[in-house]
Chains A and B, each alone.
Chain A
Amino acid sequence: MPVIQKEPMILHPRPSSIVAALYTLRDLETDVVILHGPPGCSFKHARLLEEDGMRVVTTSLDESGFVFGGMDALVNVLETVIERFNPKRIGIVGTCASMIIGEELHEAVNRVQPDVPVIEVEVHAGYRDNTQGVIIALESALAAGIIDEAEFERQKILLKEATMVEKRHGAASKDYLEPSRGDLKYKVAERIIQLLKEGKRGINILNAKKETAYMFADINLAVVQVAEKLGVGSNIVNMANLDEKLGLPKTRRDARNINEDLKGLGIEMHHIIGGLDEYPIAGNNVNELIAEKYSDFDFAVITGVPHALPMDNIKDMELFSITNGPRQVAPLKDMGHDHVVVELDLHPKTLGVNHIVESELGATLREMVKDA
């Protein structure tokens, strides 16, 4: 019997599969999600998601719920939610507590018989990879007829790739990752401006995960604006994973919103490299494009998930990478990225928005050429 190669130790708390399921339900345009578990479970993200217009409520299982079960509570909350919020689509998400004691989410649906679709997600936080939470949510969405088989298969491939990206160079690459604030923004901005002034040519890449693009795009936008201000706009080539025809409903909408903003500001997008959920694989397109057309460029600005880009064709360029993970700095430096900037707390600022949001690095860049 083949023994599974033991996975590396996890010493550091990891993104939660429960939370991943919540975000997936949001992308599926679920109106209300019921977390069947303790009131403190996933609190922070539950609140953040409400910014995005999805209500998140809890059955607030307590000690006695753990012991005696929480089916009545779930039925009660489900009925309350239907009455109070009149949702068109409901999600019920498990937690460690309810899953361990064997609660069947479907039992509540059977008892209440709502006349809107309910996506039941039997998930807990005990999976190594939080993408498992996404897969379970999508499986239920498929079963409920909310997505089709093709989209499900597409998502599964992307999630597998996303997991690989994190294992190779991301949050799952080491058992413990020291946080870092990255390089100073004004130093990095200064260097970008210097390169532009020297007439160097740069590739300006947005490879962001879903809604985080609302802020990452601002950095790419600032690079173009600065280049134009310096009279070297034509030295910049823009690429972005902003395909409006790919992904779950919200993902497409986000891409459309950002494209419209960029177009409104007169930015020309040279290459669309994938959808907003394709950040784990869009780098392959970047890789090919560079090999074909841009191998002699001098620098690259990569925002979003820079560690998903293959290093093959960019390793000789001066690399400016912008991430929102303080724990992504060390892995990026290890890969050979010269400058790594962290946009702290980026994600919360990109919830509940439908226009590009100003970034610190973007603002710094603009400020530094204000009087040029």
Chain B
Amino acid sequence: MPRQIAIYGKGGIGKSSTASNVAAACADEGYRVTIIGCDPKSDSSITLLNGRRIPTIMDLMRQGVDIKEDDIVFNGYKGVKCVEIGGPEPGIGCAGRGIIVAINLLRKLSKALEEADLVIYDVPGDIVCGGFVAPVKKGLVSETYVLTSGEYMPLYAANNICKGLSRLDVKFSGVICNSRGAPNEENIVNEFAKEIGSQLLAFIPKDVIVQNCEREGYSVIEKAPDSGIADVYRKLARRIMADKETHIPKSLDDARLRELTQI
């Protein structure tokens, strides 16, 4: 049974960068990794594929072609299996239903969800409807992480996500801080993690290397393996693979959140 994880967090906070760097770091350690991009933007795997955009399941479904595993599962950095679900054009149809249909199809066509040591679901920032938690509700995600910075709004989103996750009855494994350079950030997120009954797993500094590598189509692990931030991702990856501890997160009230982020 692979570890099946999803990283949640406010839109734009760095979920996809974190997911792909963790995937690459785990692949370096010899783990079989699968990454499933559940975002209609389909930007989860680009940096594992040297900047290449792969066809999404939704693209192929729209064309009405007969879909086979090879058409939707692609080998990226060190054999990381990459799948992008994609979605309808913005403002048309129902992206949530798209995820449900695509996940069902993927389960039927491919063993990539089972024959792996780690499966990462990269979800969009906003869980706008039922479809976006289909992997969780269908029992395909067994552990969740929350990514946040120390600022009020990302923490507010993280807090809301914790609320949602406790309702969904899915295990919670910890908080990851992706720094935006706010003052006292590590302490704030550490405190938040404690108060929701969890733990801070990593503090990822803000580093322009992430964006530079991304622009060229690579993960930090691949393009700048000797950088300090690559080390941070590697440590996080090891921690994820080693940790078995999970909890049901509590959530804080808004007043406490504001207080916590007071500088």
Contacts and interface: CB of A to CB of B under 8 A. Distances in A.
Interface of A: 1-4, 6, 69, 99-104, 107
Contacts, number: 37
Contacts of A69: 130
Q: Is chain B's interface secondary structure helix, strand, loop, or mixed overall?
A: helix
Given A1-B71, A69-B130, A102 B96 contact: yes
B129 interface: yes
Contacts of B94: 100
Can you list the 4 inter-chain pairs with the closest CB atoms, starting with the nearest?
A: A102-B130, A104-B137, A102-B131, A4-B66
A102 B134 contact: yes
Nearest to A103: B130
Contacts of B100: 99, 102
5 contacts: A1-B71, A4-B65, A102-B97, A102-B134, A102-B137
B64 A3 contact: yes
Contacts of B133: 102
A2 B64 contact: no
A2 to B, nearest CB: 5
Interface string B93-123: 0101100100000000000000000000000
Q: Is chain A's interface secondary structure helix, strand, loop, or mixed overall?
A: loop
B41 interface: no
B129 A102 contact: yes
Nearest to A98: B130
Interface of B: 60, 63-66, 71, 94, 96-97, 100, 129-131, 133-134, 137-138
A43 B148 CA distance: 49
A102 B60 CA distance: 21
Contacts of B96: 100-102
B7 to A, nearest CB: 20
Listed residue (A6, A99, A101) with the most chain B CB atoms within 10 angstroms of its CB? A101
Contacts of A101: 96, 129-131
A1 B65 CA distance: 7
Contacts of B129: 101-102
A107 B137 contact: yes
Given A4-B65, A99-B97, A101-B131, 11 more contacts: A1-B65, A1-B71, A4-B64, A69-B130, A100-B96, A100-B97, A101-B130, A102-B131, A103-B130, A104-B137, A104-B138
B63 A3 contact: yes
B98 to A, nearest CB: 10
A153 to B, nearest CB: 18
A2 B137 contact: no
Contacts of A104: 137-138
Nearest to B131: A102
A99 B66 CA distance: 23
A6 B63 CA distance: 10
Contacts of A3: 63-66
A4 B138 CA distance: 29
Listed residue (A101, A102, A103, A104) with the most chain B CB atoms within 10 angstroms of its CB? A102
B115 to A, nearest CB: 22
